[in-house]
Structure 1
Amino acid sequence: MAESAQPQVVVYPGGSGRTNVLTSYDPRTGETVGTYAIMGTSELNRTIRAARAAERWWADLGFAARKRWLLDWKRSIARRATELVELLCEETGKPEADAVIEVMLAVENLDWAARNAARALRRRSLGSTWLTRNQKASVGYLPLGVVGVLGPWNNPVFTAMGSIAYAMAAGNAVVFKPHELTTGVGVWLAESWTELAPSQPVLQVVTGDRSTGAALCRAKVDKIAYAGSDSGAREVISLCAQSMTPVVVEHNGKGSMVVHVDAKLDDAAEAAVFGAMANAGQNPTGIQCAYVADSVFDNFLELVADHAKRLRPGADRKASYGPMIMESQVGVIRKQVRDALARGGRAVVGGLDSIREPYISPIVLAEVPEESLAVTGEAIGPVLIVNRVSTMDEAARRINASGNGVAVSVFTRDVRSVDAFAEQLRVGVVTINSSTAYAGIPALPFGGVGEYGQGHSHGEHGLREFSRTLAVARKQYRAAVDLSTFDRHSRHLRAAKTMFRLRHAR
């Protein structure tokens, strides 16, 4: 929301006035992809009212019926995946292979959420204590109602589906506001549901710019799910605080890698370059900085440079990755690289001359000071920083100090040592001998710590993120020792005190 939008707002004359229209462009060519209405408050309110009505029907269906609907939707998306891939390529400039993978990952999450919602959210019995053994306790999870989803521009299908699918599987209706740069993808997803259930708007899309997103935050829906920049997240949280609307946030910032002395260096180097530069470095599950043991630093850096030099951005099928999707991010990367070099970092591959809008060739920087903007800033671009460390403990301290509490990839042959190391890190995910593959595991919750810790997506945690807890306690019989009354007998209290001492005072 706080990000500067690349699309222009074009004003067309209308019958009774003028209508604002959002125009999105192919970042590779500048050609128009589509035009969409900038919806105002009245249109948004009508959409939410329709969602409220649809949510009641959807919630009443129960888990089994919702599962059937969602799996039908999944099959519809899969059958028409070629259309979605083509649109995704047009709006983001991604190579076809990257777009195909993104759509497949999104569909896998939809499938997992549909199949596992009942198991994760069904009512289950809980234990009680000796004081309340006549009570039968249980807990279940019910829908929140209407969930607003503010989608990102970098992975507009996969990331958005991480909220949409889980919210719908939990029994909620969803109002989806896609990012201005990828509005067409959002419209396609909503229309694919409408074709399946034309009279039940369980999933609807609202199109527009940041003002539309702000209106959704103020609309008193039951929860907002946001994915995007740090500044945008703060704005969303601030807007939602005015109506006490809860928020789940996924930040853009990338994670880190740790390379131990015994790591398979070529595997680590390949994973580091892929994590840093896939999707032109515009993946929130990617790698920003690799911390490498001093004794293998030079060898690792040489391997990284070799892998990075093979990559080429472009618009053709043979290109390794596409353009920067958001035009303003080019300036951010230029500023970060310039600051890193000015502070004493060195360019191993590429440099400032690698930045040729809208494409950025691979950039590998080494020994960049930790206070550099390239380390502390939000990393969006095909840039990898490689810094040396003397010990694993030093790597942990640097990662924690940077505050990038998303994910850390650890490369080592001594996998048993990683658990203890992982507990030192203030991050949400730790992977061993792989970088971004964890994003393809729907059951694995995705979330972070600190500023990155505003809730979770994916897995059971993702389903419960869009649910409310309902605890129930039922009296089964009259207790032999009843303390929950003003008419309790003195011998009941004596018996309770004796039992208490036997249980807890010995």
Structure 2
Amino acid sequence: MTATSDVKPFTGTGTITNPATGAPAGQVRWTDPADVTRIAAGLREAQREWEARGAAGRAKVLARYAVWLGKHRAEIEELLIKETGKSATDAAQEVPLILMIASYYIRTMEKALAPDKRPAALPFLSIKKIEVHYRPRPVVGIIAPWNYPVANALMDAIGALAAGCAVLLKPSERTPLTAELLMRGWLDSGAPEVLALAQGAREVSEAVIDVSDYIQFTGSSATGAKVAERAARRLTPVSLELGGKDPMIVLEDADVDLAAHAAVWGAMFNAGQTCVSVERVYVLEPVYDQFVAAVVRDVENLAMGAGDGHHFGAMIDDSQVAVTERHVADALAKGARALTGGKRGVGSGSFYEPTVLVDVDHSMACMTEETFGPTLPIMKVTSVEEAVRLANDSPYGLSAAVFSRDIERAKKIALQLDCGGVNINDVISNLMCTTAPMGGWKTSGIGARFGGPEGLRKYCRIETVVAPRTNVGAGGNYYNNSQRALKRMNTMMTKLALIRPKRIAK
């Protein structure tokens, strides 16, 4: 059973099926790749008026859309469950996150996008007024994944729309139905046609890249590299939020029960299909046995299934289940033990039981490759230095977690970890911090995703405007045939430029 179309290639219409039950979730009409150019041209035309509204005018439109999302939350979550096989608990997380992000940008976008006034670098340049303006890129292409059909589409689209861009959204071909509902809400809330969909697979993604002025991609590191390569043909800038293998470090002075609860939720939430999920845990030897026992206790209390009454639901399709099966089988073959789970769920549907693995090491795929499934491998370490070394021994660098009762000690360890964000005594919470950028290091991405003024300005081109304060002194630095004037100018500029360095160097 899959959540993809039953029509190959992606032409005409297709049926999307529920990965938990195999029942049809709905019909989608696929976009002809040849039509993407026309769609982008319409967006480009509409974007001019959208930019001209200014930040305050766009904020009103986004506020109406946020109200629509809130009113239709139940409808959206019902469709999420049908399309992805999520539990009701997991489905309930997406709309509130988007409302948090939208609310933050609605409050702050006017200030974030206002021109920056910059001081003169040297006293004699104070006759100039220097302003940095943030001008939106006309069309932003967003290629979104399937694991969070609402959040992964709108957390990027909201920022681009707030910045004054038009957005061409290409949702995953596995979850196109939710995107159709979000698009309907945009138009029903009275918003202009600066948001459009392109439904399909690789060919449509390539067409979106070819017609956009900026690309935001979320997905695997391998596909991200292909996106960047294609965008580079036109020197189109990209922001990539890619794979992760997020480590968690549990120190000997940690609150072990809290750490165990966090590890289980962070690993099993959304069936482990979260870019910043807890994918490996390093526990200091003195609390290792206690931590493992607490984790097993929590996992054994989890209820797996779609919809109401369950902690987490199905995986998106059998191909994703197969990755989890391969990682677990590899670990068991190399000496690991499964204390819970270790196999597919009983019955139909793309389910995999929550699996706790111990006696693991870095020779195993479960510790080095992104699993994106409900597994929790736990490794015993003898020192903090070993934990940090192993945490950094990865091509990924998205986020991490450190658990300790000593917050300052945890902060020092956090700043030794090679990743874009670290949570202390918590997991995944950096996604809720709308005032700060979220991004990855190494093969986990390029740039920051959303959060803070950076989440708006990333979609803008920077334009510096230098204007005179007075007509006095204009032309003083133009060509002058006098050797005496040239010598005087060079001496003055060198002395002025060296004033501050000489002070600091003393």
Give the equivalent residue in structure 2 for 1:132.
125
Where structure 2 has 5 or more consecutive residues not aligned to the other structure, the ranges are none
Residue 322 of structure 2: aligned partner: 331
**Count of equivalent residues:** 496
- Equivalent positions of 1:160-199 (< 5 A) are 160-197=153-190
Judge conservation of contact 2:33–2:203 (CA < 8 Å) in 1.
no
Relative distance call for 1:390 and 1:206 in structure 2 (3 A) is same
1:373 matched residue in structure 2:
365
Q: RMSD of the TM alignment (CA)?
A: 2.3
Q: Displacement, 1:6?
A: 4.2
TM-score (norm 1): 0.93
Code of the aligned partner of 1:171: G
More moved, 288-297 vs 124-133: 124-133
Distance 1:465 1:374 in 2: 34
1:412 and 1:178 mapped to 2: Cα distance?
39
Instruction: Give a deviation string over 1:49-99, Cα, whole Å, max 9, x none.
Output: 110111111001000000001001111111111111111111111122221
Q: Tell me the CA shift for residue 370 of structure 1.
A: 1.0
Q: 1:441 aligns with which of 433, 436, 449?
A: 433
Match of 2:266 in 1: 275
C-alpha distance 234-497 of structure 1, shift in aligned 2 (>3 A): closer
* Structure 1 contact 291–387 (Cα < 8 Å) conserved: yes
The one-letter code matched in structure 2 to 1:504 is P
**C-alpha separation in 1, matches of 2:501 and 2:352:** 66
- Out of 285, 304, 312, the position equivalent to 2:276 is 285
Distance 2:310 2:171 in 1: 27
| Superposition map of 1:343-422 within 5 A | 343-352=334-343, 357-422=349-414
Instruction: Say whether the 8 Å CA contact 1:354–1:363 is kept in structure 2.
Output: no
Corresponding residue for 2:139?
146
Distance 1:316 1:53 in 2: 42
1:10 aligns with 2:2: no
Could you tell me which residue of structure 1 aligns to residue 152 of structure 2?
A: 159
Of residues 202, 219, 223, the one that matches 2:194 is 202
CA contact (8 A) 2:19 2:316 kept: yes
Distance 1:310 1:489, change over 3 A: same
Change over 3 Å in CA distance of 1:301–1:484 after alignment to 2: farther
The share of aligned pairs that are identical, in percent, is 32
- Contact preservation (8 Å) 1:25, 1:33: yes
CA distance in 2, matches of 1:500, 1:182: 58
Aligned 8 A contact 2:246 2:400 in 1: yes
Determine whether 1:474 maps to 2:471: no
**8 Å contact kept, 1:337–1:351:** yes
Match of 1:89 in 2: 81
Pick closer, same or farther for the CA change 1:122–1:351 going to 2, 3 Å: same
Distance 1:501 1:245 in 2: 39
Inter-CA distance 308–501: structure 2 relative to 1 (3 Å threshold): closer
Q: CA deviation at 1:420?
A: 2.4
Gaps in structure 1 of 5+ consecutive residues: 13-17
Change (3 A) 1:363 1:185: same
Give the letter for the 2:61 counterpart.
Answer: W
Does structure 1 conserve the Cα–Cα contact (< 8 Å) formed by 2:168 and 2:197? yes
Q: What is the distance in 1 between the residues matched to 2:501 and 2:37? A: 56
Instruction: Give the match for residue 222 of structure 2.
Output: 231
Question: In structure 1, what residue type is equivalent to 2:432?
Answer: G
Instruction: Determine the structure 2 residue equivalent to 1:58.
Output: 50
Cα drift, residue 440 of structure 1: 1.8
- Quote the Cα distance in structure 2 between the aligned partners of 1:80 and 1:8: 26
Tell me whether 1:73 sits opposite 2:65 in the alignment: yes
Task: Please name the residue that 1:317 is paired with.
Answer: 308
Indicate if the aligned counterparts of 1:9 and 1:20 stay in contact, CA closer than 8 A: no
- Counterpart for residue 15 of structure 1: none
Specify the SS of the correspondent of 1:456: coil
Q: 1:208 to 1:19 in 2, by over 3 A?
A: closer
How many angstroms apart in 2 are the aligned matches of 1:108 and 1:401?
34
